[in-house]
Amino acid sequence: MARTAPGASAPMAEEAAPATGTAQPPDGTGRLPDKVPPTVHLIALGIFTMVTSEFAVGGLMPQMAEGLGTGVPRIGYLITAFALAMAFGGPVAATALHRLRPTTALLVLFAVFFAGNALAAAAPGYTTMLVARIATGAASGAFFGVGLSVVARITRPELRGRATGIAMQGLMVGTLLGLPLSMFLGELWGWRATFAAIGVLTLLAAGASAAALPRLEHQDEAGDLKKEAAVFRDPRLLGAMLSSTLIIGATFAAFSYFTPILTELTGFSRGTVPLLLLVYGAATVVGNAVVARFAASRTLTVIGTGLALNTLFLTVFALAAEHAVPAVAAMVGIGLVGVTMNPAMITRVQRAGNARPLVNTVHSSFITLGVVVGSWGGGLAIGTFGLRAPLWTGAVLALIGLVTLIPSAVKAGRG
């Protein structure tokens, strides 16, 4: 049972429950360390590498269009292809690797990801680049699932939320730095050099992981795909994943259109917006660290608070978009409580299902679906209601996400 400070209320039942899945000592001593293992940072490095590759196309569109002899809109489809490959190809890749040891599966995914980026760097035409993006997207989706499974197995249950937060800092830092780094390398040496550099970083991350990550054995039932998939019959697991889709969808409905909103409604110059987005990215790094601290002990409370605050910030942004100070304050608030819910979301899903690669990979697909739903829904609303619409769309999605927590909250309260 989780401990509480004197005078503090006990955590909700869902929050106090340990994540399922057997942990495995990473050092061969027969016990897990009392602190988060340093090797968790290697998973963060891998995630950072893959997120940087994901964002690279967005910063290199004009160069890539010229180099591949096509238009900018078709280059934009490469971003969609990567996201769809993550959502649908990730589970397929994880399923194909389910008989391998987790650390071996990670190295295979590193190899596929390296090959995809090498192919992108040398792509003679658009079709080859499209194949490269699909391969790297599928490998990235599966890597999230397998990597988070490894984090869970080498970390004590009460530290898993914090360890997951460290791993997910790779996502936050990748979001913060991936686009500007890609643009910087592209300006210096061309867009092909960016993908070549990502390939080199992939090799470094793979080599460090091969040397330092523990050799994990299969868990019980890990080789039986039917038993692995049976967990998805539990409505609690699907409900938790749906909440994740709505959390991410609410944030990306707004984030996808920050630039036109800040320039056309708030009145900032185009040169100022990248600086504001860096501030937003820094807020996600801070928010992720805070959420990770409480993800294991106050899972449902953290998610509920985050959704409530995100609803508030999105609403304030929509109402005061013409005024610089409240608009920027609301944007920073969205950064603090939006995608930063990942450690708590992952903890909740692992408790409802398990911490194995297939569950984590499918959850990653639900998260990616949130990106697609949010950006698509926000863009669709602009055509009818104008540039404020993505902010209101995000607020509605966050509110619906809050409603999806009610059954869990009621059950936890009764418990």
Range of weakest confidence among 218-227, 250-259, 265-274 = 218-227
Q: How far is CA 297 from CA 153, 158, 344, in A?
A: 18, 8, 10
Q: Which pLDDT band holds residue 60 (cuts at 50, 70, 90)?
A: confident
Residue 3 reports pLDDT greater than 50: no
Q: Binning pLDDT at 50, 70 and 90, where does residue 10 land?
A: very low
Burial 54-87 (b: 16+ CB within 10 A, else e): bbbbebbbebbbebbeeeeebbeebbebbbbbbb
- Mean pLDDT score across all residues of the chain: 86
pLDDT for 198 beyond 70: yes
Place of tokens 């400070």: 5
Categorize the per-residue pLDDT at 224 as very low, low, confident or very high, splitting at 50, 70 and 90: low
d(CA 369, CA 11): 30
Which of 3-7, 70-74, 119-123 has the least mean pLDDT?
3-7
Q: How confident is the model at residue 94 (pLDDT cuts 50, 70, 90)?
A: confident
Confirm if 1 and 16 have CB atoms less than 8 A apart. Answer: yes
pTM of the predicted model as reported, rounded to 2 decimal places: 0.82
| DSSP of 132-146 | HHHHHHHHHHHHHHH
% residues pLDDT > 90 (the chain): 50
**Angular region, 36: left φ>0, alpha ψ -120 to 50, beta rest:** beta
pLDDT-derived band at 31 (thresholds 50, 70, 90) equals: low
Higher pLDDT, 414 or 134: 134
Indicate left, alpha or beta for 7 from its phi (over 0: left) and psi (-120 to 50: alpha): left
- The model's confidence at residue 79, banded by pLDDT at 50, 70 and 90, is confident
For residue 298, the SS3 value is coil
Least confident stretch, 318-327, 372-381, 385-394: 372-381
